[in-house]
Amino acid sequence: MGMLEAILITIATAATPLLIAAVGELVVERSGVLNLGVEGMMVMGAVTGFAAALATGSPWLGFLAAIVVGALFSLLFAFLTLTLVTNQVATGLALTLLGLGLSGMLGEGFVGFPGVKLANVYIPVLTDIPLVGKLFFGQDPIFYLSILLTAGVAYFLFRTRAGLTLRSVGDNHASAHALGINVVLIRYLAVMFGGACAGLAGGYLSIVYTPQWVENMTAGRGWIALALVVFASWRPWRVLAGAYLFGAVTIGQLHAQALGIGVPSQLLSSLPYLATIVVLVLISRNRRLTMVNTPASLGRPFVPDR
């Protein structure tokens, strides 16, 4: 295995959790809800995924547990913001704080345990192709799932009637309500999909990326995922491009340190946020781009009159 291939594979591994969490949040935001609790849902997914995999010995049950806990955690957010109509920003921040604290407490007994490993895919002949075999045909199953997820979300949003309905709710919830669309129900489903994705992304961290549990192990990846959604101007394939770009920056930073290149790590880790600001400035100059891609009701509370 060549050095380059190894680097590319680690980039994919770094990008996968960002991609999964960001694609989930993209669906949430397209429905008009801003859930800043991605970090909290991710870290909860990480701790339960690790614990469930350890207890059952099956990484798959670990992923399942991570997904369920992520969705349940987001259900709390949905109940508060959609039913009780609390402020979305404050509630999302509270969710992150709660997730970080709760996961630290629940995970105390799991620190130091070796995790359950997930085997990489092996397809005879294809995986053995020199240079690209392992990159394309020999990674972990969740990597492939993340690509399918992106494609699925892109298809759902822009090719199906249900996706159109979801986008309409994010664009103008009052109009959607007037047409008889159940705004609150659609947002509940979107938020829970986002939670499930964040949970899975967290489980990926503790089962595949670094198979162990460490407190706060998400290390800000939930925030990068949030930034990515804006960076990608709410388009799924651009989220994928962004996730790999940021994944590459993370890995590049490690290699640069190893080679003794003196780029301050703080600068590199701030790059995703700087890039997001640049993108925001650029798209806000273009009225059509903003209008077409930015969910106009994003973060606005909705109370249906009956």
Partner 1 sequence: MTATLETHGANLLEVRGLTKIFGTLKACDGIDLTVGKGEIHALLGENGAGKSTLVKMLFGSLEPNAGEIRWNGEPVRIANPHAARKLGIGMVFQHFSLFDALTAAENIALSLDDETPIATIAAKAKALSYSYGLPLDPYSLVGDLSVGERQRIEIIRCLLQTPELIILDEPTSVLTPQEADKLFETLERLRAEGKSILYISHRLEEVKRMCDRATVLRHGKVVGHCDPRKETASSLARMMVGSEVLSVVRPPAEGAGKAATLLEIRNLTRKPATPFSIPLRNINLSVKAGEVIGIAGVAGNGQGEFFEAVSGEATQPDAVTVRIRDKDAGHLSITGRRMLGAAFVPEERLGHGAAPRMKLSENLLLSRYATDRKAFLGSFGLVQGSAIVKAAQRIIEAMDVRKSAPDPEAAALSGGNLQKFIIGRELDRQPAVMVVNQPTWGVDAGAAARIRQALIELARSGSAVLVISQDLDELFEISDSIAVMHNGELSKPLPIAEATLEKIGLLMGGAEPGHVEPVAEVA
Query: Does residue 286 contact residue 294 with C-beta atoms inside 8 Å?
Result: no
Give the binding range for partner 1 (CB under 8 A) out of 102-110, 138-146, 255-263, 291-299.
Answer: 291-299
Among 177, 279, 280, 300, binds partner 1 (CB under 8 A): 177
Q: How far is the CB of 180 from partner 1 (least distance, A)?
A: 3
Subset of 127-166 contacting partner 1 (CB under 8 A): 161, 164-165
Give the binding range for partner 1 (CB under 8 A) out of 9-17, 38-46, 178-186, 219-227.
Answer: 178-186
Among 56, 60, 141, 167, binds partner 1 (CB under 8 A): 167
Comparison of 187 and 221: residue with beta carbon closer to partner 1: 187
Using CB under 8 A, count the residues that bind partner 1: 29
Cα 250 to Cα 205: distance, rounded to the nearest angstrom = 15
Q: How far is the CB of 165 from partner 1 (least distance, A)?
A: 7
Cα 181 to Cα 124: distance, rounded to the nearest angstrom = 50
For residue 232, the one-letter residue type is A
**How distant, in Å, are the alpha carbons of 34, 70, 121, 293, 303 from that of 74?**
12, 6, 31, 24, 20
Among 293, 299, 300, 301, binds partner 1 (CB under 8 A): 293
Among 112, 124, 264, 287, binds partner 1 (CB under 8 A): 287
Structure tokens at 53: 């995999």
Q: How far is the CB of 57 from partner 1 (least distance, A)?
A: 44
Comparison of 147 and 296: residue with beta carbon closer to partner 1: 296
Cα 125 to Cα 209: distance, rounded to the nearest angstrom = 26
Q: How far is the CB of 185 from partner 1 (least distance, A)?
A: 12
Comparison of 168 and 276: residue with beta carbon closer to partner 1: 168
**Considering just the CA atoms, what is the radius of gyration of the chain in Å?**
19
Q: Which residues of 160-198 are buried (b: 16+ CB within 10 A; e: fewer)?
A: eeebebbbbbbbbbeebbeeeeebbebbbbbbbbbbbbb
181 to 210: interface string for partner 1, x by CB under 8 A: x-----------------------------
Cα 296 to Cα 41: distance, rounded to the nearest angstrom = 25
Among 120, 172, 212, 269, binds partner 1 (CB under 8 A): 172
Question: What sign has the CA pseudo-torsion 150, 43, 15, 209?
Answer: negative
Comparison of 180 and 260: residue with beta carbon closer to partner 1: 180
Give the binding range for partner 1 (CB under 8 A) out of 105-113, 131-139, 220-228, 287-295.
Answer: 287-295
Among 120, 290, 299, 301, binds partner 1 (CB under 8 A): 290
Comparison of 97 and 292: residue with beta carbon closer to partner 1: 292
Q: Which residues of 92-121 are buried (b: 16+ CB within 10 A; e: fewer)?
A: bebbbebbbeebeeebeebeeeebbebeee
Cα 88 to Cα 133: distance, rounded to the nearest angstrom = 45
Among 174, 261, 263, 267, binds partner 1 (CB under 8 A): 174
